């Protein structure tokens, strides 16, 4: 175990507009998605997964990806990315001027079938031409591996199985592989073992953590991963989200909680916590939800106490 990322910097990939919203039962208006992304950018978030160019029959909530990307006022230095499962998705992402795309595989055969209707090997074969085309177009490709700490259909997953898929995506040309605890059953000890297994073939600097918070362990897993030297994390403002093909899974670790942790550890994220919490309030209100971020709740309670003391 090493002592926190040596660079002193942590990269946060905000996945709220995609992972956070993809499972919402009622259609979230395009204008709300665009406004959420605008507020995230204003808070200093520079990596945002803004859309998914997947089949609208499979994930209807993401059907307006092109429009979302068209309507966002771009900011210098902000990378907007989208999920793409195949060349059709890649072409749509390119057309919508995505800065970056992400292909998504799984460490579990059953999840792969349920999520993208093919085996793990078939998915890798499908991604090859996507990565090749992206290379020609100068678009960076990120890779995801789902079910790294458990599968909703198969239960425990061997870290070596995860490491094999991770390595294949890296060898193929993905610049970073995000390890997805899709169902949020991971624990700090399992997270450390996973990172140890995956970093044998892929540099630690090319691995990211993507922790869903179903069992309340996500922030503990982020801390364990930081201690293992990982310095890139996906998170979702207000903790919104879930995966349509992972029954019962909740949202990602809340971005506010990760930023607070990093601030307190003296790790630089470049994100302004107060402005981020406002973006979280905006989307929670729009969805009619109470935020899942403990930090955002504590900040709101402190604000309310201060106001009542001043009356
Ligand atoms: P399929 O049915 O096997 O695909 O689905 P197909 O090639 O036979 O095409 C069927 C129809 O979909 C055709 O249309 C295609 O044109 C269309 P039709 O002729 O019936 O009208 N189609 C598309 N439309 C738009 N964009 C596309 C596209 N591709 C085909 N790119 C497919 C295979 C992969 C398309 C489907 O299974 C799919 O879209 N799955 C996406 C599932 C998804 O988005 N899941 C959530 C994201 S993953 C996640 O949340 C996990 C993550 O957060 C990490 C973690 O937490 O673990 C990343
Ligand atoms: Mg996810």
Taking the CA of 106 as reference, the closest ligand is 1
* Residue 287, pLDDT score: 94
Cβ of 81 closer than 6 Å to ligand 1, yes or no, is: no
Query: Does the reported pTM lie above 0.95?
Result: yes
Minimal-distance CA residue to ligand 1 atom 43: 115
* Residue 290, pLDDT score: 92
Ligand 1 centroid distance, CA of 3 (Å): 40
Cβ of 95 closer than 6 Å to ligand 1, yes or no, is: no
Is residue 306 classed exposed, middle or buried when 0-12, 13-18 and 19+ CB atoms within 10 A define those classes? exposed
* Residue 20, pLDDT score: 96
Q: Percent of the chain, pLDDT > 70?
A: 99
Minimal-distance CA residue to ligand 1 atom 14: 55
* Closest residue by Cα to residue 149 from 138, 141, 161: 161
* Closest residue by Cα to residue 64 from 73, 49, 54: 54
* Residue 245, pLDDT score: 77
pLDDT tens digit sequence for 112-164: 999 999 999 999 999 999 999 999 999 999 999 999 999 999 999 999 999 99
Ligand 1 centroid distance, CA of 20 (Å): 18
Parts of the chain with a pLDDT under 50:
none
Exposure of 254 in the CB half-sphere (CA atoms within 13 A): 24
* Closest residue by Cα to residue 101 from 137, 148, 67, 68: 137
Catalytic positions are 243
Cβ of 19 closer than 6 Å to ligand 1, yes or no, is: yes
* Cβ contact 239:202 at 8 Å: no
* CATH class of the region 11-309: alpha beta
Q: Which residues pair with 82 in a beta bridge?
A: 51, 101
* Residue 2, pLDDT score: 61
């Amino acid at each position: 175990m090493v002592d926190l990322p040596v660079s002193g910097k942590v990269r946060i990939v905000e996945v709220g507009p995609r992972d956070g919203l993809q499972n919402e039962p009622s259609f979230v208006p395009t204008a709300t998605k665009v406004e959420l992304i605008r507020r995230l950018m204003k808070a200093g978030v520079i990596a945002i997964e803004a859309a998914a160019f997947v089949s609208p029959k499979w994930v209807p909530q993401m059907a307006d990806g092109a429009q979302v990307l068209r309507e966002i006022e771009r900011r210098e230095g902000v990378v907007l990315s989208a999920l793409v499962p195949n060349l059709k998705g890649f072409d749509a992402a390119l057309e919508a001027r995505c800065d970056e795309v992400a292909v998504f595989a799984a460490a579990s055969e059953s999840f792969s079938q349920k999520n993208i209707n093919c085996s793990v090997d078939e998915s890798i074969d499908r991604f090859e031409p996507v990565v090749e085309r992206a290379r020609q177009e100068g678009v960076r490709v990120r890779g995801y591996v789902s079910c790294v700490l458990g599968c909703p259909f198969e239960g425990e997953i061997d870290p070596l199985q995860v490491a094999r898929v991770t390595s294949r995506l890296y060898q193929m040309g993905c610049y970073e592989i995000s390890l997805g605890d899709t169902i949020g059953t991971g624990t700090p000890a399992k997270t450390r073992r996973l990172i140890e297994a995956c970093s044998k073939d892929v540099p630690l600097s090319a691995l990211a953590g993507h922790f869903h918070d179903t069992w309340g362990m996500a922030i503990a897993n982020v801390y364990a991963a930081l201690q293992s030297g990982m310095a890139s994390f996906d998170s979702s403002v207000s903790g919104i989200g879930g995966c349509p093909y992972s029954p019962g899974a909740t949202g990602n670790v809340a971005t506010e909680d990760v930023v607070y942790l990093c601030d307190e550890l003296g790790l630089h994220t470049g994100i302004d916590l107060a402005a981020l919490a406002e973006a979280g309030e905006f989307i929670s209100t729009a969805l009619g939800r109470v935020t899942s971020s403990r930090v955002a709740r504590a900040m709101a309670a402190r604000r309310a106490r201060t106001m009542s003391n001043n009356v």
